[in-house]
């Protein structure tokens, strides 16, 4: 079954380090720093936050790797954006309650439900059933 990659822990790490970076910048910003230019800012950053900056870059690299290796119809997303997977009992229940789902194979239903949710899969099945007679008639098939 299709399973979306989980970015929650990667995004949490990035948020934590970004907040630490903001605190560090606020702590070190002063009138002394004003007008010194980017090179001076980078030097100051290297002096005080070398490990933090490297970890932020590492976090972005990990997120990029997770998103670059993702293949499938859905998007890589935090858990709060994902659809809950159907249990076997829920799947049996919706198949019994919604006969229009019979137009799709079980694997197709489960894979698509993991991406867009079972209600959207039901809607697609309803549209397919509604449009099937016109499609078959146009093709000369019964």
Q: Are 104 and 125 in contact (CB under 8 A)?
A: yes
Q: Judge whether 114 and 85 are in contact, CB under 8 Å.
A: yes
State the pLDDT confidence band at 40, using cuts at 50, 70 and 90: low
pLDDT of 85 above 50: yes
Rounded percentage of the chain residues whose pLDDT exceeds 90: 22
Determine how many CB atoms are found less than 10 A away from the CB of residue 121: 24
Q: What is the chain's mean pLDDT, rounded?
A: 77
Kindly indicate the confidence band of residue 90, based on its pLDDT and cuts at 50, 70 and 90: very high
DSSP string, the chain: ---PPB-HHHHHHHHHHHHHHHHHHHHH--TTTTTS-HHHHHHHHHHHHHHHHHHHHHHHHHHHHHHHS--SSS--B-GGGSPPPPPHHHHHHHHHH-GGGGGS-HHHHHHHHHHH-HHHHHHHHHHHHHHHHHHHHHHT--
pTM of the model: 0.44
pLDDT, tens digit (0-9, with 9 covering 90-100), for 92-111: 999 999 999 999 999 999 88
């Amino acid at each position: 079954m299709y399973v979306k990659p989980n970015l929650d822990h990667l995004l949490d790490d990035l948020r934590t380090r970004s907040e630490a970076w903001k605190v560090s910048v606020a702590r070190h910003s002063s009138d002394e720093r004003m007008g010194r230019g980017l090179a001076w800012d980078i030097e100051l950053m290297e002096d005080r936050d070398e490990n933090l900056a490297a970890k932020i870059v590492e976090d972005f690299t990990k997120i990029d790797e997770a998103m670059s290796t993702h293949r499938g119809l859905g998007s890589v997303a935090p858990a709060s954006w994902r659809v809950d997977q159907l249990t076997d009992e829920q799947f049996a229940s919706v198949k019994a309650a919604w006969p229009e789902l019979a137009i799709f194979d079980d694997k197709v239903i489960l894979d698509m439900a993991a991406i867009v949710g079972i209600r959207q899969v039901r809607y697609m099945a309803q549209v397919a059933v509604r449009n099937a007679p016109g499609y078959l008639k146009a093709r000369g098939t019964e």
